[in-house]
Amino acid sequence: MNGLALLIPLALLLGLSGLVAFFWALGSGQFDDMEGAALRILVDDAPAPPENPLG
């Protein structure tokens, strides 16, 4: 029973800190461009120019 007196406030504190971190990320624009990162994986990189064999 004494363990619950420690674990319940600890769980509430962790949950509240996660909620604060989520709202901070939301306010700082972390989730503004959800489609850009998803579509960026489909775009190929530009091919590397061929190396000059003569040096």
What's the alpha-carbon Rg for the chain, to the nearest Å? Answer: 24
Instruction: Report the run of H or E that residue 40 belongs to, with start and end.
Output: helix 34-40
Q: What is the pLDDT of residues 1-55, one digit of tens each?
A: 889 999 999 999 999 999 999 999 999 988 888 888 788 888 887 777 888 777 5
Tell me the C-alpha distance between 7 and 1, whole Å. 10
Tell me the C-alpha distance between 20 and 26, whole Å. 10
Q: Show the tokens assigned to 47.
A: 């091919």
pLDDT at 53: 72
Tell me the C-alpha distance between 24 and 18, whole Å. 10
Tell me the C-alpha distance between 5 and 10, whole Å. 9
